[in-house]
Amino acid sequence: MAGSSGLGGGAGQGAALRASRAPLLLVALVLGAYCLRVLPGRCPPAARTLAPAPSPSEPPSSVRRPGAPDLPVASGPGRRRFPQALIVGVKKGGTRALLEFLRLHPDVRALGSEPHFFDRCYERGLAWYRSLMPRTLDGQITMEKTPSYFVTREAPRRIHAMSPDMKLIVVVRNPVTRAISDYAQTLSKTPGLPSFRALAFRHGLGPVDTAWSAVRIGLYAQHLDHWLQYFPLSHFLFVSGERLVSDPAGEVGRVQDFLGLKRVVTDKHFYFNATKGFPCLKKAQGSSRPRCLGKSKGRPHPRVPPAVVRRLQEFYRPFNRKFYQMTGQDFGWG
Residues acting as catalytic residues:
92
Q: Looking at the domain assignment, is residue 291 inside a domain?
A: yes
Residue numbering of the annotated binding site for 3'-phosphoadenylyl sulfate: 92-96, 173, 181, 297-301
Q: Looking at the domain assignment, is residue 324 inside a domain?
A: no
Residue-wise pLDDT for 203-212, tens only, equals 888 999 999 9
- Amino acid letter, residue 222: Q
What pLDDT score was predicted for residue 54?
33
d(CA 102, CA 241): 15
Q: Looking at the domain assignment, is residue 189 inside a domain?
A: no
Q: Looking at the domain assignment, is residue 135 inside a domain?
A: yes
Residue 67: burial class (beta carbons within 10 Å; 0-12, 13-18, 19+):
exposed
d(CA 198, CA 208): 10
What Rg value do the Cα atoms of the chain yield, rounded?
Answer: 25
What pLDDT score was predicted for residue 42?
74
pLDDT value at 8 more than 90: no
Residues 6+ apart with CB under 8 A from 87: 95, 98, 99, 143, 144, 145, 146, 147, 169, 170, 171
Residue-wise pLDDT for 159-169, tens only, equals 999 999 999 99
Report residue 39's pLDDT band, with 50, 70 and 90 as the boundaries: very low
pLDDT value at 301 more than 90: no
- For strand 141-145 and strand 167-172, is the pairing parallel, antiparallel, or unpaired? unpaired
The helix or strand, by DSSP H or E, that contains position 244, with its residue range, turns out to be: helix 241-246
pLDDT value at 61 more than 90: no
Domain encompassing residue 82: 78-178+215-303
Residue-wise pLDDT for 114-147, tens only, equals 999 999 999 999 999 999 999 999 999 999 999 9
Q: Looking at the domain assignment, is residue 69 inside a domain?
A: no
Provide the 3-class DSSP secondary structure of residue 7: helix
Of the candidate ranges 146-155, 294-303, 314-323, 324-333, the one whose mean pLDDT is the lowest: 294-303
Q: Looking at the domain assignment, is residue 13 inside a domain?
A: no
CATH number of the domain encompassing residue 297: 3.40.50.300
Q: How far apart are the first and last CA of the chain?
A: 84
User: Average pLDDT over the chain, rounded to whole?
Assistant: 82
pLDDT value at 63 more than 60: no
Buried b (16+ CB within 10 A) or exposed e, 222-238: ebbeebeebbeeebbbb
* Nearest alpha-carbon partner for 150 in 174, 171, 173: 171
Phi, psi for residue 255 in degrees, rounded to 5: -65, -40
Kindly write down the DSSP assignment for every residue of 134-164, as one continuous string: PEE-TT-EEEEE-GGGGG-TTHHHHHHHH-T
Residue-wise pLDDT for 13-36, tens only, equals 444 434 444 433 333 333 333 333
Q: Looking at the domain assignment, is residue 66 inside a domain?
A: no
What pLDDT score was predicted for residue 283?
65
Q: Looking at the domain assignment, is residue 318 inside a domain?
A: no
Count up the domains in the chain and report the number: 1
What pLDDT score was predicted for residue 168?
99
d(CA 235, CA 223): 15
The helix or strand, by DSSP H or E, that contains position 270, with its residue range, turns out to be: strand 270-273
What pLDDT score was predicted for residue 294?
63
